[in-house]
Structure 1
């Protein structure tokens, strides 16, 4: 089932039953009558096809499904917060934020344009702040609307996760993990972890989205990605994210086989004589390279090309005397094929830490936790 068939007010009531242990206490907490809450619970259990509680004379005891779903309800409502938010309003604002027009939101949701207009306007009035503004034919969210849409997206992720956990209890595996893969993670650690995981969990769907940190960080923060794997940032700017180190990577300078510095174990003065291709400013590898030359008192080599693509770097190095600072794992195949060779290596202290980045609020599911453990195991093997 889709989350849009759920009722947020009913979910609040069910969450209170799980928290307080009785229908009567929950009714008082959410200002609904006891029969109304009983009816809401019955409807939700009917939608899910599983009981959420055992009815006992001394209260309501969560079933396995209830234990899985109640924390997701609580987490979703933490993102929603306001009692003025209904599922239709949440859906309308999300669709409008993602498509940029009322017509696009209507096509994405199947809702009528008047319904979307009314839902967004009512939400804006209830919260007493403008959520969208029109710029010509395009509708954009205000700062408040953008932040609210992000919270709504995270609430949606929590509820979808809860439903997938219940599906798994019924024997229907619908769970998935979406992974953001930065360049270094794609070399060996992530493929090894994926292989380990899929041997145990062949029915869980893994989606791997490749990109730079700049491209992946916002999808991670908004719930589109579950985890991002790659070089960690020090310091971490985004306060809503959490970093989990896996291993330290020691990069080296590489060039084509036949490069004038090949076989010389070149130092900073020799390396500085050749142009270098580096990732953009702010990337840990770029920072390590700049620190290496600064520590030696040698000016940074010319950087005529900025790129984080190993494929691009490889081709450029093969066609010229340009050099690059890379992890040895990233060019293992090229070195073994006799295309590239190591020219020199920075001393210890110029490493970068590779790890996982997640939302600070992430409550890992069973399968997510298993995958994170496989990443850690793959990192140990790599070390």
Structure 2
């Protein structure tokens, strides 16, 4: 069951019951009748398939399920920060934000375009904010609309995590973890961790999205990704994100096996005479590559091919005299097959830290924690 099926008013009532211990006190806080709260609680318990409270003459006692789910509810409602937002409106705003148009958003969630438009408009009226503005023939979210969409996405992520924890409590190890994979981790680190994790938890789904840090950090902040794996940034990308190191990687200079410099232990001056293919400016590896020459007092060579795709770089090098700076792990198969060769090591100062980036305050589910332990983050706990 997705989090969008849950009624936010019912969740607010559950939070009030947990806070006060009685339905009557909860009814007073959320301005609902006791019968409405009782019916709402019963509906949520039916949806999750387990009781959240034990009824007794002394009041409502939380069950183990409530101990797991209530903190997730509290975190989600704190993100939304308004009792005027409904689940349907939240779903509509997220669909519009992700699709970039009413037509695309409506298609994505299976409603009419008019219904989606009405839900977003009603949300805007309820909050007294302009959430959407027209630009030419299209629409875009206002600053406040974008902030609310991000808050709703993170709230949805909290609730979905809570539903996964409830499933695990019931003996069903189901759920998903969404990973942003930057170039280096795709070669060995991530596939090996996924294989080990899948052997232990075969019913858990892992979704991997490839891209650069610039392409993936937005979806991480929006709650679409749970974590990024790859080269850490220095300085850190913001107070809302946390970086945890895994290991240090030392890049090497690589060319085709029969490159003119193969077996010569070339100097930096000799390397500068050949064409290079490296990542675009701003990428940590590009910064290291430039520092490699600048640190030796040499002019930084021109880069005729800026590329972050290892597959493309590999093919380019195998058919030309191009050079690149990569981790040996990224082309391990090609090195073992004898198609490419390591021409020389980079200077000792050229090193990058590979690790995991998450949202600050991210509360892991037990199975997400188990996956991170497969990566080597044994000290990261929920």
Q: Which residue of 2 aligns with 1:60?
A: 60
Question: CA 1:59–1:247 in structure 2 vs 1: closer, same or farther (change >3 Å)?
Answer: farther
List per-residue Cα deviations over 1:255-281 (Å, max 9, x = no partner): 112222222322322222222111011
The alpha carbon displacement at 1:143 in A equals 1.8
Distance in 2 of aligned mates of 1:115 and 1:335: 56
Offset of 1:136 from its aligned partner?
4.4
Matches within 5 A, 1:287-326: 287-326=287-326
1:256-311 deviation line (CA, Å, top 9, x unaligned): 12222222322322222222111011111111111121111111122111111111
SS of 1:322's equivalent? coil
Cα deviation, residue 34, structure 1? 4.0
Name which of structure 1's ranges 338-347 and 129-138 shifts more when overlaid on structure 2. Answer: 129-138
Cα offset, 1:108, TM superposition: 2.9
Q: How far is 1:254 from its partner? A: 0.9
Mapped contact 1:277–1:307 kept (Cα < 8 A): yes
Q: Does residue 156 of structure 2 align to residue 156 of structure 1?
A: yes
The verdict on how the C-alpha distance between 1:103 and 1:325 changes in structure 2, with shifts beyond 3 A counting, is closer
> What TM-score, normalized to structure 1?
0.92
Partner of 1:353 in structure 2? 353
C-alpha separation between the residues in 1 aligned to 2:331 and 2:221? 31
Worse-superposed segment, 369-378 or 200-209: 369-378
List alignment gaps of at least 5 residues for structure 1.
379-383
Which residue of structure 2 lines up, in the alignment, with residue 6 of structure 1? 6
Q: TM (normalized to structure 2)? A: 0.92
Q: Which residue of 2 aligns with 1:72?
A: 72
CA distance in 2, matches of 1:23, 1:349: 64
| 1:370–1:173 distance in 2 versus 1, CA, 3 Å | closer
Q: Distance in 2 between matches of 1:377 and 1:100?
A: 37
- Once residues 219 and 44 of structure 1 are traced to their aligned partners in structure 2, the CA distance between those partners, rounded to angstroms, is 29
Q: CA deviation at 1:59?
A: 4.0
* CA distance, structure 2, for counterparts of residue 133 and residue 20 of structure 1: 42
Partner of 1:139: 139
| Deviation (angstroms), 1:147 | 1.8
1:88 alignment partner in structure 2: 88
Runs (5+) with no aligned partner, structure 2: none
Q: What secondary structure sits across from 2:376 in the alignment? A: helix
**2: distance between equivalents of 1:335 and 1:44?**
56
Alignment match, 2:247: 247
Q: Distance in 1 between matches of 2:102 and 2:331?
A: 48
| 1:186 counterpart residue number | 186
Give deviations 1:176-235, integer Å, cap 9, x for gaps. 112111110011111111121112111111122222222222221212211111111111
Bigger shift: 320-329 or 88-97?
A: 88-97
C-alpha contact (below 8 Å) 1:265/1:345 kept by paired residues: no
Cα distance in 2 for residues equivalent to 1:348 and 1:172:
49
List per-residue Cα deviations over 1:304-339 (Å, max 9, x = no partner). 111111111111111222110000111222112111
After superposition, the Cα gap between the structure-2 partners of 1:86 and 1:296, relative to the gap in structure 1 and judged at 3 Å, is: same
Asked if 1:115 corresponds to 2:115, the answer is yes
Within the alignment, does 1:199 sit opposite 2:203 as a pair?
no
Aligned-partner Cα distance in 2 for 1:104–1:276: 41
Q: Which residue in the other structure is 1:126 paired with? A: 126
Task: Report the alpha carbon displacement of residue 92 of structure 1 after superposing the two structures with TM.
Answer: 1.8
Q: 1:41 aligns to what?
A: 41
Equivalent pairs counted in the alignment come to: 378
SS of corresponding position for 2:133: strand
Would the alpha carbon gap of residues 114 and 330 (structure 1) be closer, same or farther in structure 2, given more than 3 Å must change? closer
Kept in 1: contact 2:230–2:356 (CA 8 A): yes
Question: What is aligned with 1:381?
Answer: none
Query: RMSD of aligned C-alpha atoms?
Result: 2.1
User: What does residue 221 of structure 2 align with?
Assistant: 221
Given that residues 278 and 305 in structure 1 are in contact (C-alpha distance below 8 angstroms), is that contact kept between their aligned partners in structure 2?
yes
Structure 1 contact 193–377 (Cα < 8 Å) conserved = no
- Cα deviation for residue 113 of structure 1 reads 4.1
TM superposition shift of 1:63: 1.8
| Structure 2: distance between partners of 1:248 and 1:230 | 11
Q: Distance in 1 between matches of 2:369 and 2:31?
A: 37
Structure 1 residues 90 and 262, CA, compared in 2 at 3 Å: closer, same or farther?
same
Question: What is the distance in 1 between the residues matched to 2:106 and 2:259?
Answer: 59
After superposition, residues 274-293 of structure 1 pair within 5 angstroms as: 274-293=274-293
Partner in structure 1 of residue 177 of structure 2: 177
